[in-house]
Structure 1
């Protein structure tokens, strides 16, 4: 799992990413909104992980941003995931 963010990085990420998460009307919409900001989503061990599109580096979990997977699933519906071969990680289908 990604490590803890320092408070300044966490605050900046929340300013950029959290409005996109809160405005999303579906999982597909969320992916498009994050892509416009240079971010992507992954899932591992039951957690949603924000990553950088340019390098694939994992940044933080949704909970670290104030947007845990449980809350998003309640609002957007359960995400349709495609499980990776390792059995622990997944990507959104579609």
Structure 2
């Protein structure tokens, strides 16, 4: 049996949430990413559109997070850019999530 640390499994920093965005950055993020969220017909569509712009979707403690694709670091929550998980789930359906071993984080299984 091989034991893999959370860092090696890609779950590093699973306990942390990003700091709140300042109002100017939040407005720019909404303007830049809003059309991607609006046009998405499924979680897979949204994930692909965000990946093309350098972002990934993750989940932590019941929140949708946007991560930097290059670093894997959290940038902001979905609510910060005007698209909370609850609203997206109502429109796109429940996301299929691969949960971390500690149960606090997950990745979209798209």
TM-score (norm 1): 0.96
Gaps of 5+ in 1: none
Indicate whether 1:18 and 2:48 are aligned. no
Aligned match of 2:103: 87
Runs of 4+ that moved beyond 6 A: none
CA deviations 1:21-66 (Å, max 9, x no partner) are 1110000000000001100110010000011101111011111111
- Aligned residue pairs, count: 94
Query: Whose radius of gyration is greater, 1 or 2?
Result: 2
Aligned match of 2:59: 43
TM-score (norm 2): 0.82
Distance 2:78 2:39 in 1: 15
Cα RMSD, aligned residues only: 0.8
Report the structure, 1 or 2, having the larger helix content. 1
Gaps of 5+ in 2: 1-16
